[in-house]
């Protein structure tokens, strides 16, 4: 999941924080230079929102670098502001958490019914068609970014502004959204490589539950993990990588010795070795904040994939034991 930085200080909302800024001329000046609400309005009104967002991001990154070199960042005043800011972030985590739990529970129980008792049952006859359906949805959202009349929709539901979540459904929508063709093509190629085999093993219902739940959980992880590490939430992310890492993780757990390649170069040890390498890479990137990838989302999706692979494998072994007992009798 590619992550585009959009760095700025969060504007104050509570009376205490407003008074805090009013009593400090330096912080008040910083607030005036970083009006996030104005930036969001510019993004929504622009005919090419992605280019406009990049322009805003570059300006704000420069401002942040100036702040980091300032003695203000080590002052007690700055620490007091951060306490207010972090408290506000924790409050914002409640709604995404409730949505994530409700969505995963609802998906887990509703999906089997949809594939058994609705016209969607046709997917059970052609399991691989669900893979191409997911790719088709991602393609549809990709092309929607290029339609001016739909940019309001894609900006609201297709990109996850972590410090300003307009709708909790963005946690799902951003996982089906790609703005650049390279991002879309690479993600879908990786997804198809593992999903075709995995859906044949898990079945359509289990595969769909895994994909949808991991998409939302990875988006939630991209908010929660940086918050736990004290990183800035003034960023935005989109892409299917979190869910794809979940598919890769589940595949690697079930078929650890399966031969895989990295850019067509065979990886010694098979799928499990490559997957563990990506987990280490994503964990390090989350802590060290490398580049512009949403490592937290990757890591969250990977953990979901391992957990689901473990659950499915355990359930399969129990079914085998039952069959043996029946045969013995």
Structure tokens at 145: 């970014």
CA–CA gap between residue 306 and residue 310 (Å, rounded): 6
Gap between the Cα atoms of 246 and 238, Å rounded: 16
What is the b/e burial string over 247-261, where b = at least 16 CB atoms within 10 angstroms of the residue's CB?
bbbbbbbbbeeeebe
Cβ atoms of 233 and 162 closer than 8 Å: yes
Q: Are 273 and 258 in contact (CB under 8 A)?
A: no
Displacement of CA 289 from its chain's centroid (Å):
16
**Which residues 6+ apart lie within 8 Å of 323 measured at CB?**
none
Separation of CA 275 from chain center: 18
Cβ atoms of 176 and 215 closer than 8 Å? yes
d(C-alpha 203, C-alpha 12), whole Å: 49
Read off the DSSP letter of residue 121: G
Q: Which of 205, 241, 246, 302 is catalytic?
A: 241
User: Comparing C-alpha atoms, which of 294, 17, 9, 46 is closest to residue 164?
Assistant: 9
Helix 15-22 and helix 76-92, axial crossing angle in degrees, nearest 10: 160
Locus of tokens 């990183």: 231
Please indicate whether residue 298 is annotated as part of the active site. Answer: yes
Question: How far apart, in whole angstroms, are the C-alpha atoms of residue 229 and residue 329?
Answer: 56
Could you list the active site residues?
241, 298
């Amino acid at each position: 999941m590619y992550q585009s930085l959009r760095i700025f200080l969060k504007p104050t909302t509570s009376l205490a924080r407003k008074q805090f800024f009013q009593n400090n001329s330096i912080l008040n000046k910083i607030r005036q230079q970083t009006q996030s609400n104005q930036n969001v309005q510019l993004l929504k009104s622009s005919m090419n929102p992605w280019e406009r967002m990049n322009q805003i991001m570059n300006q704000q990154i420069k401002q942040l670098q100036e702040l980091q070199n300032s003695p203000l960042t080590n002052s007690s005043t700055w620490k007091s502001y951060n306490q207010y800011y972090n408290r506000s972030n924790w409050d914002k985590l409640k709604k995404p958490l409730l949505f994530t739990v409700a969505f995963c529970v609802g998906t887990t129980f509703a999906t089997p019914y949809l594939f058994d008792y609705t016209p969607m049952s046709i997917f059970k006859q052609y399991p691989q068609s669900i893979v191409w359906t997911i790719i088709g949805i991602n393609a549809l959202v990709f092309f929607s970014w290029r339609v001016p009349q739909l940019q309001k929709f894609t900006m609201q539901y297709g990109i996850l502004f972590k410090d300003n979540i307009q709708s909790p459904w963005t946690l799902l929508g951003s996982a089906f959204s790609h703005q650049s063709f390279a991002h879309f093509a690479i993600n879908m190629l990786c997804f198809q490589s593992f999903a075709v085999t995995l859906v044949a093993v898990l079945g359509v219902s289990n595969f769909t539950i895994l994909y949808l739940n991991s998409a939302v959980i990875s988006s939630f992880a991209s908010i929660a993990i940086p918050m736990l590490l004290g990183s800035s939430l003034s960023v935005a992310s989109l892409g299917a990588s979190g869910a794809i890492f979940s598919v890769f993780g589940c595949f690697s757990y079930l078929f650890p010795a399966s031969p895989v390649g990295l850019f067509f170069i065979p990886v010694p040890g098979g799928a499990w070795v490559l997957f563990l390498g990506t987990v280490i890479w994503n964990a390090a990137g989350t802590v060290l904040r490398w580049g512009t990838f949403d490592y937290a989302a990757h890591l969250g999706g990977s953990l979901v994939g391992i957990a689901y692979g473990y659950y499915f494998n355990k359930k399969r072994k129990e079914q085998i034991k039952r069959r043996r007992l029946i045969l013995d009798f």
